[in-house]
Homo-oligomer: A and B are copies of this chain.
């Protein structure tokens, strides 16, 4: 895949929207229900300017929406909530959580879990193909060119043997 194809690659497009640390940390907080500017700022450690800009960008791109609210005795304020489109980013965060839990475990165990609402057990990523098969091993997932690929190149051909 050369940069021409990279433009058609969904991973690259996703990265254009969320491919940096602060954005992911903000999404983590919003997923957890932390929605106010200063709460997010304290939780993530993001500088105000960075946070302000990222929140605006996420709203622009339809991932978050600003919801006005007002507590008695205070001025009107806004909180940030996920759109459906934003909610669909959750698997990325769950996958990151899983990788970190497994490969970079914290001494006291994780601070955050993703749990199944009904039974409370931890939620994990599973892989399934559209024909309905369980894909048990990551090595059973292979990259293939899709319809938007521009060259007739074999994906794994150019650098020798398989992954």
- A residues with CB within 8 A of B: 1-3, 5-15, 17, 19-21, 24-25, 28-36, 39, 42-45, 69, 79, 81-82, 85, 87-131, 133, 135, 138-150, 155-160, 162-163
Nearest CB in chain B: distance from A5 CB, A: 5
Which residues of B are found within 8 Å of A69, using beta-carbon distances? 160
Report 7 cross-chain contacts, Cβ distance below 8 Å, ordered by A residue: A8-B109, A11-B112, A14-B100, A19-B24, A111-B149, A112-B149, A122-B130
| Residue pair A133, B118 in contact (C-beta under 8 Å) | yes
Q: How many copies does the complex hold?
A: 2
Instruction: Given A39-B158, A90-B138, answer yes or no on A28-B3 (Cβ-Cβ < 8 Å).
Output: no
A30: nearest chain-B partner, CB-CB: B163
Which residues of B are found within 8 Å of A146, using beta-carbon distances? 109-113
| Cα-based distance from A33 to B127 in the complex (angstroms) | 20
Interface residue from B1, B10, B87 paired with A43 (Cβ < 8 Å): B1
Interface residue from B12, B25, B110 paired with A15 (Cβ < 8 Å): B25
Q: Which 3 A-B pairs have the closest CB atoms?
A: A10-B100, A33-B156, A109-B147
A104: nearest chain-B partner, CB-CB: B13
| Known pairs A9-B111, A117-B140, A124-B130 / 5 extra A-B pairs, C-beta < 8 Å | A5-B111, A36-B159, A92-B92, A92-B96, A119-B129
A128: nearest chain-B partner, CB-CB: B126
Nearest CB in chain B: distance from A78 CB, A: 12
| Residue pair B24, A96 in contact (C-beta under 8 Å) | no
| Residue pair A25, B3 in contact (C-beta under 8 Å) | no
